[in-house]
Amino acid sequence: MVMTHFSRLRQLLLLQPKFLSSQPRPLRSPPPTFLRSLMGSSSSFSSSSSKLLFRQLFENESSTFTYLLADVSHPDKPALLIDPVDKTVDRDLKLIDELGLKLIYAMNTHVHADHVTGTGLLKTKLPGVKSVISKASGSKADLFLEPGDKVSIGDIYLEVRATPGHTAGCVTYVTGEGADQPQPRMAFTGDAVLIRGCGRTDFQGGSSDQLYESVHSQIFSLPKDTLIYPAHDYKGFEVSTVGEEMQHNPRLTKDKETFKTIMSNLNLSYPKMIDVAVPANMVCGLQDVPSQAN
């Protein structure tokens, strides 16, 4: 029988829902790597990383990143902060309280020249917190680290790698190796490696020769999927990888002599905060830290 135009249209309309339901729905694009890492547990990390809570925080004036890590699988939810800033201590403490964490360590990658560290304030506001920095920095702290040391929070640990060059006391903190540690690994590089750049080497015992050797031996030797989290960014980036920087970093991809020439011709202005920040940071960010907070 010949189907009328109306009946044919009616049949198509009746079939349409069934047809649509049988097709796979388009999936939303996954969030970028830096956002996945901020969420703490996702396909970008191994299942063992479900115990890691990770937050990347930002201070606008000095363009400084502060990093919060915690082991939320542990009953106490122990946590640490890397490179806290004095101006954002209250923000950090509020977040730590909201997440039900116990702050154990306030750590610095080096003695900063562009902001005052928040470690001293954290110690006064939250007694029991330990300030941490490299022994080579010559700064005041509760705990002094040397290459190869490990800093643990629950079952998660950070390995200490000496990466001098920006300053004489710079270190990079790297999440542990092994199936029970967050994967891919994470490297908190301070100013040694920035995203598509690196820290200057013209003050605080800096050395372009030393920085080049530090980066290539201690950071670029890590697995290429290792996530790089720097102390600063000025271009809107949040995270990179070892592989990316080995391929695309406009300074550190060069040979050593070319790198040294680049660094000696940056002609950067004198850091505006250096005369305030460095003296304060040499004593944990405060001139006088109450004894009960030590």
Predicted pLDDT of residue 50: 82
**Among the four given CATH numbers 1.10.1740.10, 3.60.15.10, 3.90.1640.10, 3.30.70.141, the one describing domain 52-266:** 3.60.15.10
Domain ranges of the chain: 52-266
How large is the average pLDDT for residues 25-39?
A: 35
Tokens for 36, please give them: 């996945």
Query: Is a pLDDT exceeding 70 seen at residue 40?
Result: no
Q: What confidence tens digit (pLDDT) does each residue in 134-192 have?
A: 999 999 999 999 999 999 999 999 999 999 999 999 999 999 999 999 999 999 999 99
Predicted pLDDT of residue 45: 52
Query: Is a pLDDT exceeding 50 seen at residue 41?
Result: no
Query: Is a pLDDT exceeding 60 seen at residue 7?
Result: no
Instruction: Name which of 19-23, 97-101, 230-234, 238-242 the model is least confident about.
Output: 19-23
How large is the average pLDDT for residues 63-87?
A: 97
Helix ranges restricted to H, the chain: 5-21, 33-38, 89-98, 119-125, 208-214, 242-248, 256-264, 274-281
Q: Is 37 helix (H, G, I), strand (E, B) or coil?
A: helix
Query: Is a pLDDT exceeding 90 seen at residue 2?
Result: no
Residues of the chain above pLDDT 70, percent: 81
Query: Is a pLDDT exceeding 70 seen at residue 259?
Result: yes
